[in-house]
């Protein structure tokens, strides 16, 4: 076996093991990468601007969606069908297919993202850490992870990303699978919890270096950074 990062382009491999702990396995599962999956390595390319979560408009609602999820949503733009993540800021598209199974489609429906819905790619979200207080404890998470938590504020359902500093709200729902809900539960974050946004920490800008793997699963294109690709053992 060898790591996915060492696979040459135009090779087909099967994922045999994923190392590095539960968080890494969960992140890769969001991309559809797990044991037994067959991958066609398309290319190894420089890291591009499509990194981290993105902000979308669905109808008149703005929302943030994690990069791994955006790579599984296929939209039609000017007659071409491509992953949502390949759109540029200001581009519009219509959802044509959602890869990842019925549970994943159910998760996205919580965002209002369903087949035939129209989306607008608004912008890339800064690579920030969001800090919250939950039941007296301080917890931190990235913008993509935070986007999976909805709260009720002023009678409306919003993602916790849109709380302002010092604002409190009650957790309405956590959109995602069992692992995500269990992970949040370990932090004391669950439906009905009161949560307060303390601050958003924005690191000093640094140039992104390195490369990522562009792979294909069936008709789905995905991108995997080299750090994660090192954890994927294939043959």
- Of 100, 124, 148, the position where a domain reaches its end is 124
pLDDT at 110 over 80: no
Kindly state whether residues 142 and 169 are assigned to the same domain.
Answer: yes
Kindly state whether residues 141 and 196 are assigned to the same domain.
Answer: yes
Over residues 49-88, the pLDDT tens digits come to 456 788 999 988 899 988 778 877 889 998 888 778 778 8
- The range of the structural domain enclosing residue 39 comes to 2-47+210-234
- Tokens 């519009």 sit on residue: 92
pLDDT at 194 over 90: yes
Kindly state whether residues 8 and 59 are assigned to the same domain.
Answer: no
Looking at per-residue confidence, does 77 or 126 come out higher? Answer: 77
In total, how many domains does the chain have?
3
Kindly state whether residues 119 and 174 are assigned to the same domain.
Answer: no
Contacts of 15 (CB under 8 A, 6+ apart): 4, 33, 34, 35, 36, 37, 38, 39, 232, 233, 234
Kindly state whether residues 169 and 135 are assigned to the same domain.
Answer: yes
Mean predicted lDDT score pLDDT of the chain: 84
Q: What is the pTM of this model?
A: 0.67
Q: Are 91 and 82 in contact (CB under 8 A)?
A: no
List the beta bridge partners of residue 123. Answer: 55
Kindly state whether residues 218 and 189 are assigned to the same domain.
Answer: no
Contacts of 61 (CB under 8 A, 6+ apart): 112
- Tokens 């990842």 sit on residue: 100
């Amino acid at each position: 076996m060898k790591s996915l990062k060492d696979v040459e382009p135009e090779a087909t491999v099967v994922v045999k093991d994923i190392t590095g702990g539960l968080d890494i396995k969960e992140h890769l599962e969001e991309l559809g990468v797990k044991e037994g999956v067959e991958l066609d390595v398309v290319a190894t390319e420089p890291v591009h601007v499509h990194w981290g979560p993105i902000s979308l408009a669905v109808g008149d609602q703005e929302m943030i969606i994690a990069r791994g999820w955006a790579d599984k949503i296929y939209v039609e733009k000017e007659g071409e069908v491509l992953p949502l993540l390949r759109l540029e800021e200001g581009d519009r598209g219509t959802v044509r297919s959602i890869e990842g199974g019925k549970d994943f489609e159910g998760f996205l429906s919580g965002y209002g993202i369903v087949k035939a819905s129209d989306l607008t790619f608004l912008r890339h979200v800064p690579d920030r850490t969001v800090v919250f207080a939950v039941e007296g404890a301080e917890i931190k998470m990235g913008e993509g992870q935070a986007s999976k938590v909805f709260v009720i504020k002023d009678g409306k359902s919003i993602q916790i990303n849109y709380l302002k500093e010092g604002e409190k709200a009650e957790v309405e729902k956590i959109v995602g699978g069992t692992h995500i809900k269990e992970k949040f539960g370990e932090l004391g974050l669950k439906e009905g919890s009161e949560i307060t946004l303390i601050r958003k920490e924005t690191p000093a800008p640094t140039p992104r270096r390195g490369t990522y793997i562009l792979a294909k699963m069936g008709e789905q294109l995905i991108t995997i950074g080299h750090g994660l690709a090192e954890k994927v053992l294939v043959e």
